[in-house]
């Protein structure tokens, strides 16, 4: 919760100003100013990629504050797993994914109409706070004796890691392919892994527990994060309102503070 | 550590239990069969367990074959497996996962002999106890009498220097018991070492043993030869239990020729050969003159001993055969019977029970 | 007036109805697995390199875990059943903890103990270069941790139930303590050993949480069949279903074998 504090503080201030302006027309790109954040009410469930955990939790709290009567519940996990659940008719109202590919499976299945990219993430190497083996660059990961942990290849961060390696002509043999990015992070935090490929947002969220090794822009891969309301949602109005909120300056500020870049 | 077996089982066995303390002096010479007779709860099984090493002594000491096997004061305790004592359990305890042959071979096998050697030893015992037809059977396929013989064979096959038996006939039905008792007596007398058996059945003691020790509530109340104990019972228990005349003889068509003189007529005409005739002292009538009447057995005798036993008097009457006779104190007074008096005895044939012996 | 049918063994409906419902409850998901399986592609999925790799790894590690459980578990069962020592009840409670602990929690605990920074693990690493996380040996350790209690409890129960009569008899016949154990105790508890072993193997085979947390997930090294199923869900759910069938088949085989052992044990005693 400590990590979420700066975000909560930031948007608490923003929310106050938003509430303060009585005829508040929230400018959301691409959507008409709705007279009703007041028409948003009731509960929604947001399925979001693990890497969105800290930022979306903060956005959810702010959304609830800005729209009294609403309740946002999150289901964080690997985007691919969430996509499978949604296509199996899991009760989701909104889907925020860490890859266009997984979002496409959802739209192709007809569970969502169309998606909008709301954030961009890049990769970073996470190393333990007191490392046993020094890791200073991407090339170090190919050294023998370095325990590298990445996400499983069907998971967006795993696909990104694989792309990272092929793009830079590196042969890296990981010791484990975890099921989501937070599991990779925990292996690094526990000191079991010497290096893990995670998102920059994860490194930022982990604070002092890990030491991040920046990947230069020319070596790095970017991942687009799309968001979409689910067609079968029982609370379409609130779902759409949440999507709009994420895309609004308020939401974007939170995401930027977390380390995302704007689309 | 089995010693030479020269001195038999000797010692003072003291074992503290929760409800009583067993305190018995034991002496069984090689070749001797001693029966410890007592009611349930007297401590008989505890005594056996102490001798074979399954229960340690609290006090006293125990020597087997000249070797001290248990002496708490000197901190000597030889394990059960090292004492060379064969124990035939009341519930036989044949190993359910082994055949009869492998059960009997267990002792030699544990001593380190090879499987074929052990089995050869076992076969010898199996034949001696007439179990050859049963060698491949499993224990659950055997009858009570067969199980008992297997248990005995198994104990003997381990070449024990002493043999212990726990209630040898208790688990058998009445008819089997008779056959088994006779068989057992032969085998026990062939065994060269000391044999200690415990039982609550007086017939076991009388038929199988040379000497009897009566155990009541942890202590010996009487010990000695069967006839001596029966003649002068020290406690009411002994009096009731051993109040039985057992007379050996040879039967033929209802007539029993008594060893040592005399003839008895019994109701069972089918038995022939060596028999035991049992007649309760209370079933024999005492007369001062030769009686008339239907009793088929009438013979003269001389009163040898008079023993008051609470509500009655037990007379030892020497004759052909010599018997114990129980009469009321009043009758003794009325007939003015004294040691040395000549009397007549009568017993109905129906009161005499005959067993093959 | 209703007449009770004395000859029928049919249970009364207040019992039969819930029984039928629970049978349905247990059977329906398994039936669904069979119905929804991709029967057309089944063979190609199951014979793919990843599947065969996962299956082989699962069988190897579960077997190794079972053997490990026997080696350390049977003496433990003996001590718990026969020896008197202070803290015996605590020891027995300790043995049952992995049974109630969520497997992932077990995995975390194993990391904290045997991981690179673990209280014991750090010494294993520095002195002998032994690391367990991310290795196949780590999988065996994780599986043994969750499955061994089954063996210990089964064997302890058998040893308790086996009263000492036969062991006493064997002692009087001259058998040493080891001889008694080899020739009498062991043969008599053999059915329970077998049943315990089968249960242990089945539990080890199906272990997921502790394995993935402690040993990680890498095809060919630590990706056992349950992990492959979970990972398969992310890529191709029907592949996951196909692999699940393999686990289901193995479980059924194990249970059938177990049932026979129980029956034979019942007949012999």
CA distances to B125, C71, C253 from C95, rounded to whole Å, are: 48, 15, 27
Which tens digit of pLDDT belongs to each residue from C125-138?
Answer: 778 878 899 999 99
Mean pLDDT by 10 residues, chain B (357 residues): 62 87 92 91 90 91 90 90 91 93 94 90 91 92 91 93 92 81 87 92 86 90 83 74 81 89 88 84 90 88 85 87 88 85 91 78
- For β-strands B211-216 and B33-37, DSSP reports them as parallel
Q: Which residues contact C201 (CB under 8 A, 6 or more apart)?
A: C62, C63, C65, C66, C147, C254
* Minimal C-alpha gap between A48 and chain C (Å): 15
CA distances to B165, C151, C193 from B109, rounded to whole Å, are: 22, 31, 25
Q: What per-residue confidence (pLDDT) applies to C191?
A: 87
Does residue C7 lie in a domain region? no
Average pLDDT for A16-39: 46
Contacts of A78 in chain C (CB under 8 A): 234
Give percent of chain C above pLDDT 70. 93
Contacts of B154 in chain C (CB under 8 A): 173
Burial class (CB in 10 A: 0-12, 13-18, 19+), B212: buried
Q: What per-residue confidence (pLDDT) applies to B6?
A: 53
Task: Report d(CA B206, CA B229) in Å as an integer.
Answer: 11
Could you say which architecture CATH assigns to the domain A121-222?
3-Layer(aba) Sandwich (3.40)
- Residue C79, domain extent: 44-268
Domain count, chain C: 1
> What number is the ipTM of this complex?
0.77
Q: Residue A22: pLDDT band by 50, 70, 90 thresholds?
A: very low
Does residue C35 lie in a domain region? no
In this structure, of A132-141, B50-59, B224-233, C214-223, the range with the lowest mean pLDDT score is B224-233
Does residue C132 lie in a domain region? yes
pTM of structure: 0.71
Nearest Cα neighbor of B48 from B81, B74, B31, B24 is B24
Measure CB to CB from residue C234 to each of A149, A154, A192 and give the nearest one: A154
Q: Where exactly are the structural domains of chain A?
A: 43-120+224-257, 121-222
In this structure, of A33-42, A82-91, B254-263, C128-137, the range with the lowest mean pLDDT score is A33-42
Say if CB C107 and CB C211 are below 8 A apart.
yes
First to last CA, chain A: 27
Give percent of chain A above pLDDT 70. 86
Which tens digit of pLDDT belongs to each residue from A179-231?
Answer: 989 899 999 999 899 999 999 999 998 989 999 999 998 999 999 999 999 99
Task: Report d(CA A261, CA A222) in Å as an integer.
Answer: 10
In the stretch 184-243 of chain C, residues with CB closer than 8 A to chain A read: 212, 215-219, 221-223, 230-231, 233-235, 237
Measure CB to CB from residue B107 to each of C165, C166, C173 and give the nearest one: C173
Could you say which architecture CATH assigns to the domain A43-120+224-257?
3-Layer(aba) Sandwich (3.40)
The residue that leads in pLDDT, C264 or B41, is B41
Average pLDDT for C107-124: 90
Whether A177 contacts chain C with CB within 8 A: yes
Burial class (CB in 10 A: 0-12, 13-18, 19+), B125: buried
Assess whether pLDDT exceeds 50 at residue A30. no
Mean pLDDT, all residues of chain A: 85
Does residue C32 lie in a domain region? no
**Which chains are adjacent to chain C, needing at least 3 Cβ pairs under 8 Å?**
A, B
Q: Residue A32: pLDDT band by 50, 70, 90 thresholds?
A: very low
Please answer yes or no on whether B87 and C166 come within 8 Å at the CB atom: no
Task: Say whether A121-222 and A43-120+224-257 share the same fold.
Answer: yes
Task: Report d(CA B215, CA B222) in Å as an integer.
Answer: 8
Q: Where do the DSSP E strands lie in chain A?
A: 42-49, 70-77, 94-96, 116-128, 148-151, 176-178, 195-199, 210-214, 222-229
* Minimal C-alpha gap between C63 and chain A (Å): 23
Q: What per-residue confidence (pLDDT) applies to A55?
A: 92
In degrees, rounded to 5, the angle at the alpha carbon of residue C216 between the alpha carbons of residues C214 and C222 is 110
* Minimal C-alpha gap between A70 and chain C (Å): 31
Interface residue of B86, B90, B105, B106 to substitute, partner C, most C CBs within 10 Å: B106
Does residue C185 lie in a domain region? yes
Q: In chain C, which residue's Cα lies nearest the Cα of B89?
A: C169
Contacts of C174 in chain B (CB under 8 A): 81-82, 84, 107, 110-111, 158
User: What's C175's domain CATH number?
Assistant: 1.10.3720.10
């Amino acid at each position: 919760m400590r990590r979420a504090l700066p975000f909560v503080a930031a948007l608490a201030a923003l929310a106050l100003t938003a509430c303060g302006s009585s005829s508040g027309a929230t400018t959301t790109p691409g959507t008409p100013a709705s007279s009703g954040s007041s028409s948003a009410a009731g509960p929604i469930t947001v399925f979001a990629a693990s890497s969105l955990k800290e930022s979306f939790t903060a956005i959810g709290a702010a959304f609830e504050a800005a729209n009294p009567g609403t309740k946002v519940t999150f289901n964080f996990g690997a985007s691919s797993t969430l996509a499978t659940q949604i296509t199996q008719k899991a009760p989701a109202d909104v889907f925020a994914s860490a890859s266009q590919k997984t979002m496409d499976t959802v739209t192709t299945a007809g569970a969502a109409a169309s998606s909008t990219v709301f954030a961009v993430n890049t990769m970073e190497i996470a190393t333990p706070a007191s490392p046993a083996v020094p890791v200073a660059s991407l090339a170090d990961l190919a050294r023998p004796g370095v325990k590298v942990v990445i996400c499983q290849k069907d998971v967006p961060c795993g696909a990104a890691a694989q792309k990272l390696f092929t793009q830079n002509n590196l042969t890296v043999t990981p010791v484990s392919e975890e099921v989501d990015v937070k599991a990779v992070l925990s292996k690094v935090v526990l000191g079991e892994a010497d290096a893990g490929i995670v998102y920059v947002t994860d490194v930022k969220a982990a604070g002092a527990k890990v030491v991040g090794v920046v990947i230069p822009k020319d070596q790095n891969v970017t991942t687009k994060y799309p968001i979409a309301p689910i067609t079968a949602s029982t609370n379409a109005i609130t779902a759409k309102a949440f999507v709009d909120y994420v895309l609004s300056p308020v939401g974007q500020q939170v995401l930027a503070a977390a380390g995302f870049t704007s689309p | 550590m089995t010693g030479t077996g020269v001195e038999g089982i000797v010692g003072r066995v003291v074992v503290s239990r929760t409800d009583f303390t067993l305190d018995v002096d034991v002496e069984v010479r090689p070749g001797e069969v001693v029966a410890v007779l007592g009611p349930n709860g007297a401590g008989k099984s505890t005594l056996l367990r102490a001798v074979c090493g399954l229960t340690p002594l609290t006090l006293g000491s125990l020597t087997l074959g000249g070797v001290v096997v248990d002496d708490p004061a000197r901190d000597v305790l030889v394990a059960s497996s090292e004492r060379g004592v064969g124990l035939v359990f009341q519930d036989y305890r044949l190993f359910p996962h082994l055949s009869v042959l492998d059960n009997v071979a267990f002792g030699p096998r544990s001593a380190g002999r090879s499987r074929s050697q052990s089995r050869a030893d076992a076969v010898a015992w199996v034949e001696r106890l007439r179990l050859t037809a049963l060698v491949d059977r499993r224990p659950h396929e055997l009858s009570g009498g067969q199980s008992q013989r297997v248990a005995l064979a198994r104990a003997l096959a381990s070449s024990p220097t002493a043999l212990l038996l726990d209630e040898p006939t208790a688990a058998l039905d009445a008819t089997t018991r008779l056959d088994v008792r006779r068989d057992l007596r032969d085998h026990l007398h062939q065994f060269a070492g000391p044999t200690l058996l415990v039982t609550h059945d007086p017939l076991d003691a009388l038929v199988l043993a040379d000497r009897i020790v009566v155990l009541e509530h942890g202590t010996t109340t009487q010990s000695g030869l069967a006839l001596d104990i029966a003649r002068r019972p020290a406690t009411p228990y002994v009096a009731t239990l051993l109040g039985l005349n057992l007379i050996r003889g040879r039967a033929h068509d209802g007539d029993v020729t008594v060893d040592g003189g005399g003839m008895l007529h019994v109701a069972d005409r089918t038995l022939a050969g060596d028999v035991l005739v049992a007649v309760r002292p209370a079933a024999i009538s005492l007369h001062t003159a030769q009686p008339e009447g239907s009793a088929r057995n009438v013979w003269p005798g001389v009163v040898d001993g008079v023993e008051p036993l609470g509500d009655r008097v037990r007379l030892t009457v020497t004759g052909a055969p010599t018997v114990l006779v129980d009469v009321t104190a009043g009758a003794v007074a009325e007939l003015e019977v004294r040691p040395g008096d000549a009397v007549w005895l009568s017993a109905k044939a129906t009161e005499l029970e005959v067993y093959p012996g | 007036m209703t007449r009770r049918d004395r000859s029928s063994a049919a249970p009364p409906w207040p019992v039969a109805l819930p029984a039928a419902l629970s049978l349905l409850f247990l059977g329906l998901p398994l039936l669904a697995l069979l119905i929804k399986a991709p029967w057309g592609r089944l063979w190609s999925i199951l014979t793919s390199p990843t599947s065969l790799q996962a299956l082989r790894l699962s069988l190897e590690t579960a077997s190794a875990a079972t053997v490990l459980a026997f080696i350390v578990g049977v003496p433990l069962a003996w001590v718990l059943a026969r020896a008197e020592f202070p803290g015996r009840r605590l020891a027995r409670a300790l043995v049952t903890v992995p049974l109630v602990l969520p497997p992932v929690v077990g995995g975390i605990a194993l990391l904290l103990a045997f991981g690179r920074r673990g209280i014991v693990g750090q010494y294993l690493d520095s002195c002998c270069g032994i690391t367990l996380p991310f290795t196949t040996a780590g999988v065996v350790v994780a599986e043994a941790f969750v499955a061994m209690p089954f063996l210990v409890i089964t064997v302890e129960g058998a040893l308790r139930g086996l009263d000492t009569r036969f062991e006493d008899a064997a002692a009087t016949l001259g058998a040493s303590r080891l001889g008694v154990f080899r020739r009498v105790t062991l043969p008599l508890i053999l059915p329970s050993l077998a049943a315990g072993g089968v249960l242990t193997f089945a539990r080890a085979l199906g272990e997921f949480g502790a394995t993935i947390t402690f040993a990680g997930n890498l095809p060919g090294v630590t990706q056992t069949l349950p992990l492959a199923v979970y990972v398969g869900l992310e890529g191709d759910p029907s592949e996951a279903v196909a692999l699940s069938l393999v686990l289901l088949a193995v479980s059924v085989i194990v249970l059938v074998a177990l049932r026979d052992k129980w029956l034979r044990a019942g007949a012999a005693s």
